[in-house]
Structure 1
Amino acid sequence: MVPESGYRFLDREYNPHPDAKKILNYAIGTQVKNNDTKSVAQYASFNGLLWKKGVNEKWTEFLADPDNVIIRYADVLLMYAEANIELGSSHIDASVLEAINKVRARAYGVDVADVANYPAVISTNQDELRLIVRNERRVEFANEGLRYMDLIRWRLAEKALVGNIYGLLDVNVKASGAATGPLVDEVTSKGLWFWGLKPEIDDETGLPDFTNLHDAGLCKVIAVRNFDATRQYLWPIPAEERKINENLGQNPNY
């Protein structure tokens, strides 16, 4: 979610703006230290975003373990859709669209037939549907441990897991307590908060590209990642397995 000034979540105001040194704790009705802004807490969110999925009131008492999800019905529906899409146009029928739309309709809290109140999929083009399903899995299963293997299956890991990881610009705090630095000078003082520009979207993969924000000086590189396509699509065969079966070789580059 994009942070909003005064956004209320779990009885606290969420505001990562560098000037928001204190926020309102609604439960006790008083201002408290804002650990969600980089001008106060060094390890506040590096991108200024708030994670809400799977978080509820129990987190205000202790860090609750998430439910152990084996499989979700949304995964079954999207697997069905993806399989038929990859089989070709002769397998793309109303059941494929319904599978995708059931996932979307549930997210919007409406019936699948209520197409006026959610973005129902109507295309039967294989390339368009492939991109739709891949993006649907990305948003539906965020932080559920499926993304990496999806990227491996689609042979997109060498694109999605390579390059820069971006975050908010630096914030400095003067002795007077005033927030300064690039984030203030280049973003908030120019009315560009939150980030000021939308990232580009790759039409082929659906992956976001934040290069335009970085080139405009609105974010910084906080890490660089790499994916070695010559070896990481295939994992090594364990030595124990090769000892049991001497006919087994080893995968390339291991």
Structure 2
Amino acid sequence: IRESKTMTWVLYDPESEKSIPGQRYDAKEPSSSGYVWKKYCDWSDHAMIQILDGGVDVIYFRYADVLLMHAEALLETKGIAASSEIFAIINQLRDRCGGGRVTETNYTSEDALRTLVRNERRVELANEGLRFFDIRRWKVAEKTVAVSGEGMNGEVYGAFMRLDGVGATDRTVMVDGVPRRYVETYNFDPSKHYLFPIPSKDIDLTNGALSQNPGWD
């Protein structure tokens, strides 16, 4: 759930003895990016090894998701004509947590409105396991995330961390003149990865009537 006047993540120094014990470099599963989640996590009782370790109820389906699906459906069926309804939906979500309302004059085109709706899903539903499916559904997964802010291609960077102590072997690179910690490299093939492979047992059951998705043979 989006927190009022706070961030959903915490920047910290994983080499400092004062940092969260479960996320320092010498921990079992330290943060690779320099950020740890604040959303859902009770740091007084649990180190964030996984979300299920927390004392907060696990969300399976949220009304906020329903509202944002409605906003997206309005946009894709009615376009800019649905802007008032879309603004009302997003403001409803923001009002409950004390967030600022939408500046409507910034979203006067369909493309701008689409950016708003998609980013609202990114913020509202962060760390809820939906982003992976959203960017595939929107057919933007082949984009380079470090360039466009969305996608599943290219190198991914976290926060700056010092190259000393137990983190000395980690890779820090310059991104737009700022030192950033390299996390990993994504590789997304649009000719293959927009579809999952069909289990061979299901193909066998159809006696050859069902064929494998492209690239998964």
**Equivalent residues of 2:153, 2:187 under 8 A apart:** yes
> Judging changes above 3 Å, is the alpha-carbon distance between structure 1 residues 244 and 22 closer, same or farther for their aligned structure 2 residues?
closer
AA matched with 1:98: A
> Judging changes above 3 Å, is the alpha-carbon distance between structure 1 residues 119 and 169 closer, same or farther for their aligned structure 2 residues?
same
Superposition CA RMSD, Å:
3.5
What residue in structure 2 maps to residue 107 of structure 1? 97
> Partners in 2 of 1:244 and 1:119 — Cα distance?
53
Q: Is 1:77 paired with 2:67?
A: yes
Calculate the TM-score normalised by the size of structure 2: 0.71
What residue in structure 2 maps to residue 158 of structure 1? 142
* Deviation beyond 6 Å, 4+ runs, structure 1: 179-183
What residue in structure 2 maps to residue 171 of structure 1? 163
> Judging changes above 3 Å, is the alpha-carbon distance between structure 1 residues 65 and 239 closer, same or farther for their aligned structure 2 residues?
farther
AA matched with 2:163: V
**Equivalent residues of 1:165, 1:222 under 8 A apart:** yes
Q: What are the superposed Cα offsets for residues 59-81 of structure 1, whole Å, 9 maximum, x if unpaired?
A: 34993365342311111111011
What residue in structure 2 maps to residue 51 of structure 1? 37
Which stretch shows the higher mean deviation, 76-85 or 122-131? 122-131
> Partners in 1 of 2:167 and 2:134 — Cα distance?
41
> Judging changes above 3 Å, is the alpha-carbon distance between structure 1 residues 37 and 171 closer, same or farther for their aligned structure 2 residues?
farther
For 1:65-214, what aligned pairs fall within 5 Å after superposition? 67-89=57-79, 91-108=81-98, 118-122=100-104, 123-159=107-143, 160-167=151-158, 168-173=160-165, 213-214=174-175
Calculate the TM-score normalised by the size of structure 1: 0.62
**Equivalent residues of 1:161, 1:227 under 8 A apart:** yes
Q: What are the superposed Cα offsets for residues 183-220 of structure 1, whole Å, 9 maximum, x if unpaired?
A: 9xx9xxxxxxxxxxxxxxxxxxxxxxxx9x52525124
**Equivalent residues of 1:101, 1:121 under 8 A apart:** no
| Shift of residue 97, structure 1, vs aligned partner | 1.6
How many pairs align? 193
**Equivalent residues of 1:171, 1:180 under 8 A apart:** yes
> Partners in 2 of 1:221 and 1:61 — Cα distance?
23
**Equivalent residues of 1:92, 1:124 under 8 A apart:** no
> Partners in 1 of 2:200 and 2:190 — Cα distance?
22
- Structure 2, unmatched stretches of 5+, are 1-6, 144-150
> Judging changes above 3 Å, is the alpha-carbon distance between structure 1 residues 41 and 97 closer, same or farther for their aligned structure 2 residues?
same
> Partners in 1 of 2:167 and 2:211 — Cα distance?
59
> Partners in 2 of 1:3 and 1:146 — Cα distance?
21
The structure whose Rg is larger is: 1
